[in-house]
Structure formats: C-alpha cells, structure tokens
Amino acid sequence: MRSGYDDGQLFERKDPFPVCGIAGIWGSSDGDVVERLMSGIVHRGPDGSGMHVQSNGVLGHRRLAIMDPAGGMQPLYDETAMAAIVANGEIYNFPALRHALGDRHTFATTSDTEAVLHLFEECGTDTPAELAGMFAFAICDQDHLFLARDPIGIKPLYYGRGLDSSGAEVTAFASEMKPLADWVEELHEFPAGTWYDSRVGFVPYYQVPTAPPVTRAADEHVALVRRGLEDAVASHMMSDVPVGAFLSGGLDSSVIAALARRHVDELHTFSVGLPGSRDIEAARRVAAHIGSIHHEYLMSASEVVERLPDIVHALESFDQDLVRSAIPTYFCARLAVQHVKVILTGEGADELFAGYAYHKTVSDPATLHRELCRSISTLHNINLQRVDRLTMLHSLEGRVPFLDTAFIALALTVPAELKLKTMTDGSQMEKWVLRAACQDLLPADIVWRAKEQFDEGSGTVDLLDEVLGSFPHEIDLDAYRTATDEPVRSAEEALYHRMLCDGYARPEMILRNVARWTEDRHI
C-alpha cells in the first residue's frame, strides 16, 4: 500500500484505451452508412472496430477491451453464426450466467457480451431483465432486430429514421446523438429499462420500485445499507484492466473509494479543483486515510475557456447545472485515463438518500419518498448523461455502484425519515442512514461533512465567474430568448446553448432531447 500525490501534469498517452460504442441500421445492408455513424463515436472505442452486414441490417461496434481484451472483439456470433450482437457496457452477473449456460453453449471468448447472446438464444425478450449491469446492445437475429437498454439508462442509446445511400428508409441507432443528428429525419432517446423488437415495437421491462418503505429498526436499516453497498461495489470491481475511483472528498465518492480499496492492492483515486478548494483538501485527507495512490489536477480559467466548447459538444446538453458539473468531470476523466481504464463514481446517492438542498423543503416523508423514486428514473438524461459523455470522451468507462438495481431496491425500503433525519438540535441531516452505515470507513469530519455540489466544492462556480467574464461576447438574454425561442435561464446558459448549436448543422435534433435538471424536481 502507498499513498501519495503527483503534480497532475498531463502526458500524452502511449497506448489507446478503448471504450465501447455501438451503431447500426435496420432495413438495409448499407455498410457505408454505419461506417459514418461509427466515425462519430471513435472516442468511445479507439482500440478497434467491427461490423456485421446482412441483407436487412448492419451492426457496428467501437471497442472497449475491459473483459477479455485479447478475444472479445465484436460483433460476436452464436454457434450457428445466424445471430450477431454488439454491446456497450458491463454485465456484472456475467460469471453466473456463463456458468449456468456453459453446459448448453460453446463459448468462443470470455467476454460478457457473448453470455448475453447465448442467454438471448434461450430467453429471447426476457434477456434484459436477467442482466445485472449497465448496457445497451443490439442483436440481429435473422429476420428481426432486437435492442435493449439497461434499467436505469446508465449506458446511452439513441434511434431515429433516415435514408440509406439508395434512398431506402431505415431505422438507425447509435450510442450518442452526434453521429445521428445531422443525418436522420427524427431523433429520440431510447427509453431506459426498455427493449425493442422490430416485429413488436417498444416494451418496458423495468420500473424503479415505488412501494412504501419497510418498517425496521434504524440499526437494521443501517446494517442492510452497508451490506448492500459492499455487495454493489464488489460486483462493480469486475474487470480485466485497472479500476480507479473519482474522489471529490464528499461523502458519496469517498464511501465508494473506501470500499473499493478493500478489493485491490493499489487503488488510484482522482480529484480536480482550484488550488485550496474544499474538495481538493478533503480528497487528500480521504486518500491518505484509505491508502490510495492519489492524483489531482488544478484547473485554470484559461483551460476552461479553451475546453468549454468541447465540453458542451461532448455533453450534448446546454443545461446550466449539467455543464457546470461537466467541467470538473472533464478534467478528472482526462487525468484518470492516464492510469486506469475503468472509474467508479458516486452518482445516485443524492437521489436515493435525499442529498439535495431542495429535499429539505419537504415536510411530508411520503412525498419525499415518492420524489426520490421519481428522480432515480430521470437520471438517464441528466447526471448519468454527464458521466457517460465526459468519461467516454476520454475513452474511460464510468461505473456507478449506487445505481445497481439490487441496491436501488434496498435503498428505497429505507424510510425518508432516516435519510433526511431531524437531529436533536432541530437541524436536518441529509443522507443520514448512508453516513451512519459507513462512518467507520472514513474520518468523522468527512462522514458528516455538509453536502456540496461537485461544481461548488471543486471551485468551479467561482472559476466560472472569472471565465465567463473573459468572454468577449455580451449576450442580451431577452433578445436571445426571442431569437431562439428557447427558455434559457441565464446569459450563462445562453452561452452554452449557442456553443451546442454551433457544433451541428441541424442542432434542433439535439435540442429536442436536452433534459433540464431544474425542471426535473416535482415537489
């Protein structure tokens, strides 16, 4: 074990770190179209590509070699070579699936994706519900196309209608909007927790649990949360390549890092911020406490000015809060990919355990519980979109243990009164049950540290005041709203909106799919 700090200097990578992306069409064998789609997501898989072509469809894949780096190139085929699959993500119950399928199927690789295909041979449309993990995959099974996305929407998928080179209408899909936006005639996000069969249409297979919490003693809830989170982190450590952790110094990332550290001899952790920012100082303390190899990068105003258009374009959103939190994510992912290929993050804890300031405005526990259930189901196109796009931009795979479906189900059995707990002095402590469950893992001042948004604790909000003042363009907000017919909230958000539009010939395709974080609260 060792703990230390590097100076955060960025060196050119010598070897590509591949990340997965998928694309394809149905209704044509035009491989040139899919080649163009894949060229728009090269950053998701610079390690290689593959394509399956049949008379009525084409599948394309850009690869992340996390499982079976030597033998897991896609597309993968069943034993008869009649069905082909391309997939993005990780299946954490893959070892159990492989064991269960092993006596009836011949595995050509140790890739988790092959297990999905063999499972599909046996279970058909029931396959997605049997998978534990994050995924978006496509299967060409002779006369039909099957698509599916994981329950929470951790991995992205988009679809639309367009014309191939001959003018024939096709259904197209891809991991990001970028390669589709300037080509398709319509563009939609593929719903989370849903599968699609070209013969049947869209069918949801998962919903976030909405049952009332379970009555148990407080210490029993605390123990169950701890055990459930330990199980979730353990499953998310599955990899044939190094796994690290983002470490902001806040509760969520610190808990994940501390639990992950127990599974490896060396854990690399990563933090970004301004010199002297609260997150930087707290992350250093946590790293020293858990014995991680810690790396940090100090952002500057000039860098943010330079990188902001790229960040907005990668994010595929102009939402002000999402862009602000994407800035430190960008620099943290850029730093992390020098050392690891997989990163654990703390997304989902605030939604599960009432971590946001607006939760404190609710006096009715039943209403708060319903809001937490609802907000989990909306993460796919806000915070999870940020994590995916900004890690994938740097060819890094982000994993979110708090959003393991088994842990979600467990966390939602905890009464809201134990999440937003009224203390003896009358104050409200957010995420109390999570803090109590993990208080032995970290220094007390970290466990009970007040919640701050990533962009606040890292100093990004303060930095943006300096950054935005350095832009030469003055935006008349009322005039901009009138000209664009877009309800941008501020001149800052108008700037992000303009940056996003400047990146596309047909920005309206992207804009129709932009979720607004502030409009996502329904209390």
Looking at residue 296, its amino acid is E
Please give the torsion angle defined by the CA atoms of residues 292, 238, 390 and 379, in that order, rounded to the nearest 10 degrees.
-110
> Cα(130)–Cα(125) distance, rounded to whole angstroms?
10
Task: Tell me which residue of 349, 231, 330, 343 sits closest to 292, measured CA to CA.
Answer: 343
Tell me whether the omega of the peptide bond preceding residue 401 falls within 30 degrees of 0, making it cis. Answer: no
Neighbours of 491 (CB within 10 A): 15
Choice among 20, 140, 332, 438 that is catalytic: 20
DSSP-derived 3-state class of residue 335? helix
Residue with tokens 């919490």: 213
At 202, list the tokens. Answer: 């869209």
20 is known as an active-site residue: yes
> Three-class SS of residue 84?
strand
Query: What is the 8-class DSSP label of residue 108?
Result: S
Name 407's Cβ contacts closer than 8 Å, sequence gap at least 6: 228, 229, 231, 232, 401
- Tokens found for residue 307: 């990188």
With beta carbons less than 8 A apart as the criterion, state whether 244 and 268 touch: yes
In 426-484, which ranges are E strands?
428-429
CA distance 358 to 519: 12
Residue 358, class by beta-carbon neighbours within 10 Å (0-12 exposed, 13-18 middle, 19+ buried)? exposed
User: What amino acid positions are annotated as catalytic residues?
Assistant: 20
